[in-house]
Chains A and B, each alone.
Chain A
Amino acid sequence: DAGITQSPRYKITETGRQVTLMCHQTWSHSYMFWYRQDLGHGLRLIYYSAAADITDKGEVPDGYVVSRSKTENFPLTLESATRSQTSVYFCASRDTGGAYNEQFFGPGTRLTVL
């Protein structure tokens, strides 16, 4: 049972380049989320999705684009990367029927923008 995976685990890119971070879950959870983790800020929600083809902005969506054509995948794209987007990115998923709304997190992708 792979659970929730992210790829790549590490990425170095240059300012202005497009980067896509992948997230895949095997549980068929309806809800999926993207967070970024920065020192001094904790985790902040970028985008979330309630189901395939349904996405919504979180707290810090600027500079990011998401899509969800399939339930199990939720890619996050930085259309033109900036240094301020250097961060650790976490994907998470949650079941709709869960009694306690527990989110399950992926291992994270460490992105460096030079």
Chain B
Amino acid sequence: AQRVTQPEKLLSVFKGAPVELKCNYSYSGSPELFWYVQYSRQRLQLLLRHISRESIKGFTADLNKGETSFHLKKPFAQEEDSAMYYCALKRGGGADGLTFGKGTHLIIQP
């Protein structure tokens, strides 16, 4: 069975500092990886997907198949980045849902 691990429950950094939220996965096949974000009092929304190799709100994430990781990075944190971040995996193909990590609560201090 697949699994997603986010080792940090809470990450606190100062505004302007770099941010890295870690995500490791285990899956024998070829997964699709996502980062979802949940801002306070808002619904869960997609932030990034590995397949599109995009940068959203200054965040990037690179899939490293050798290390089975999909870490989320931002060079300069902003206060509005404070939120709950979830890494998620979808098995390639099929209708089934996502397997989520337990989430990392990111707090950006002024």
CB atoms of A103 and B98 under 8 A apart: yes
A-B contact count (CB 8 A): 57
Give the chain B neighbours of A108 by CB distance below 8 A. Answer: 43
Sort chain B's interface into a size bin.
20 to 34
B-side contacts of A84, CB under 8 Å:
none
Q: Is the CB of B102 within 8 A of A58?
A: no
A74 within 8 A of B: no
Q: Is the CB of A41 within 8 A of B32?
A: no
Residues of B within 8 A of A89 (CB): none
Please choose the segment from B46-54, B60-68, B74-82 that sits at the chain A interface, where 4 or more of its residues have CB less than 8 A away. Answer: B46-54
- Interface residues of chain A, those whose CB is within 8 Å of chain B, are 30-31, 33, 35, 40-45, 48-50, 56, 58-59, 90, 92, 99-103, 105-108
Name B's A-contacting residues (CB within 8 A). Answer: 6, 32, 34, 43-46, 49, 51-52, 86, 88, 90, 95-103
